[in-house]
Amino acid sequence: MPDPYTRNKKRLTTKSVVLHVLVVLGAALMLFPFLWTVVTSITPGGTLATGPSLIVKDPTLDAYRKLFGSLPVMRIIANSLWIAIATTILQLITSSMAAYAFSRIAFRGKNVVFALYLATMMIPMQVLVVPLFIQMTEFGLNDTYLSLIAPTIAAAFGIFLVKQTMDSIPRDLDEAATLDGAGHLRIFSTMILPLTKASLATLAVFAFMSSWNSFLWPLVVIRSPELMTLPLGLATLKGQYTTEWDVVMAGSVMSIIPIAVIYLFAQRHIIEGMSHTGLK
């Protein structure tokens, strides 16, 4: 008669194998579009009409040469990089300070104000484009770097993300620091911020990705070619009648690489930061 322990061990092993197979299949499905993009970019005359394929025939880098010949790629990448970095830094500052206020400072109507902040997350960007454009026009900021950065300085999601982590920090630390004569600024800068590094790293990646991939708002507010960002530059590669998809895919590869590199270096902090907030 089989030992119950042996049966349970076999059942656990089978379950583990099935889970590993599902994870591998899921990873393959996630990687396939990126691999297809890379293959199309190095395939001469690559097109989307033939369907997805990972077979490379006579690979070449002509698409990348055409890309650099048709667009000021380095200027466009510099624009996107500068805007994304500025947006990320400003969001980290505003989100961490607002999160500290909501988490650690008692004031009348705090819960109502925080609920209103969260409610703004349900408003799609498409609804805000026209009011934001009118506001930027009245301020005389259209077609400037500031018009791309200003609307994204504060983010309700960032405040929520960091606040959830701050709420998990014991308040005994605040009380001990207060007894030693520390004020809110010192508690915030020397005690709370170091304990929220994971959430701040997660927010930094999300903020950078959102700014780097932003298309609609730059399309509305930017007119000068020298201020063009990477998504706008890629959009200009599509012709009215024909499109060189290998060149488009080459541009797409160049836009994906920075995000992939940042995520690879920050993935541990992202997982840790999301686990602290209770988000799934």
Q: Which of 50-54, 148-152, 243-247 has the highest mean pLDDT?
A: 148-152
Q: What is the pLDDT of residues 118-142, one digit of tens each?
A: 898 888 888 889 999 999 999 888 8
Last residue of a domain, one of 60, 77, 108: 60
Range list of H helices, 42-183: 62-70, 73-104, 110-119, 125-139, 145-149, 156-167, 172-179
**Residue 239: pLDDT over 80:** no
Highest mean pLDDT (candidates 49-58, 89-98, 114-123): 89-98
Q: Among 9, 36, 60, give the residue marking a domain's end.
A: 60
Same domain? 56 vs 150 = no
Assign 109 a pLDDT band (cuts: 50, 70, 90).
Answer: confident
Q: Which residue has the higher pLDDT, 243 or 87?
A: 87
In a shared domain, residues 166 and 90: yes
Quote the mean pLDDT of the chain: 82
Q: Percent of the chain beyond pLDDT 70?
A: 85
Residue 4 sits in the same domain as residue 70: no
Give the whole-number percent of the chain exceeding pLDDT 90. 19
> Are residues 41 and 73 both part of a single domain?
no
User: Residue 218: which domain range?
Assistant: 62-277
Task: Please name the residue ranges forming H helices in 42-72.
Answer: 62-70
Do both 271 and 186 map to the same domain? yes
Looking at the fold, whether 80 and 135 belong to one and the same domain comes out as yes
Q: Are residues 184 and 204 in the same domain?
A: yes
Give the pLDDT confidence score for residue 11 in this predicted structure. Answer: 58
Mapped onto helix, strand or coil, the DSSP state of residue 223 is coil
* 80 and 12 within one domain: no
**Which residue, 43, 60, 77, sits at the end of a domain?**
60
Residues 269 and 236 in one domain: yes
Q: Is the pLDDT of residue 99 over 70?
A: yes
How far apart CA 169 and CA 103 sit, in angstroms, is: 10
25 and 140 fall within a common domain: no
8 pLDDT above the threshold of 70? no
Q: Residue 177: pLDDT above 90?
A: no
CATH number of the domain where residue 191 is located: 1.10.3720.10
Residues 85-97: b if buried by 16+ CB within 10 A, e if exposed: ebbbebbbeebbe
Same domain, 238 and 260: yes
User: In this model, does residue 178 exceed pLDDT 70?
Assistant: yes
Question: What is the number of domains present in the chain?
Answer: 2
- Position with higher pLDDT, 158 vs 70: 158
55/68 same-domain check: no
Q: Which of 99-103, 237-241, 267-271 has the highest mean pLDDT?
A: 99-103
